[in-house]
Amino acid sequence: MTAHSKTNPAEELFPIREVVRLTGVNPVTLRAWERRYGLIQPVRTEGGHRQYSAADIETIRRILAWSERGVAVSKVGGVLTQAAPLDVGSDSLSSPGHDSDWQEWTSLLREAVGAFDTDRLSQIYGHAFSTYSVEAVMEDIFLPVWRDLMDDRRFGKVSQWAFLDDFLRARIWQRLQLSGNAGKQKVLLAAIPKASHELELLATGLLLSNDECVIRVLGPGQPQDEIPYVCDTVQPAIMVLFADKPLTNASLLQVLRMAGQMACPVALAGPGSVASEAQLRGTVIANLGASGAVMQRRLLTFLSGKMDT
Q: What is the CATH number of the domain that holds 190?
A: 3.40.50.280
Q: Which structural domain, as residue segments, surrounds residue 296? A: 181-303
In a domain, residue 48? The reply is yes
Residue 54 belongs to a domain:
yes
User: Which of these three, 128, 153, 175, is where a domain ends?
Assistant: 175
Distance, CA of 307 to chain centre: 25
Counting residues of the chain whose pLDDT is more than 90, the rounded percentage is 45
Tell me, rounded to whole angstroms, the distance of Cα 203 from its chain centroid: 7
Asked if residues 164 and 146 have their Cβ atoms less than 8 Å apart, the reply is yes
How many separate domains does the chain show? Answer: 3
- Please give the pLDDT value at position 221: 85
Residue 217 lies in a domain: yes
With a CB cutoff of 8 Å and minimum separation 6, the contacts of 115 are: none
* pLDDT beyond 50 at 97: no
Q: Which is more confidently placed, 259 or 5?
A: 259
Q: Would the pLDDT of 132 be above 50?
A: yes
Burial class (CB in 10 A: 0-12, 13-18, 19+), 36: middle
Reported as a pLDDT band with limits 50, 70 and 90, residue 283 is very high
Question: Looking at the domain assignment, is residue 87 inside a domain?
Answer: no
Mean pLDDT of the chain: 84
205 and 290 co-located in one domain: yes
Digit-coded pLDDT (tens) for 47-64: 889 999 988 888 888 888
Same domain, 188 and 164: no
Does position 126 have pLDDT exceeding 70, yes or no?
yes
Res 71 pLDDT > 80: no
Question: Do 285 and 198 fall into the same domain?
Answer: yes
Q: Could you tell me if 113 and 121 are in contact, meaning their C-beta atoms sit under 8 angstroms apart?
A: yes
Residue 150 included in any domain:
yes
Instruction: Specify the CATH number for the domain of residue 166.
Output: 1.10.1240.10
Same domain, 153 and 210: no
- Most confident option among 1-15, 105-119, 127-141: 105-119
Q: What is the mean pLDDT of residues 168-188?
A: 86
288, 265 Cβ separation under 8 angstroms: no
Structural domain includes residue 149: yes
Pick from 256, 258, 265: nearest CA to 304: 265
How much is the pLDDT for 286? 93
Same domain, 186 and 260: yes
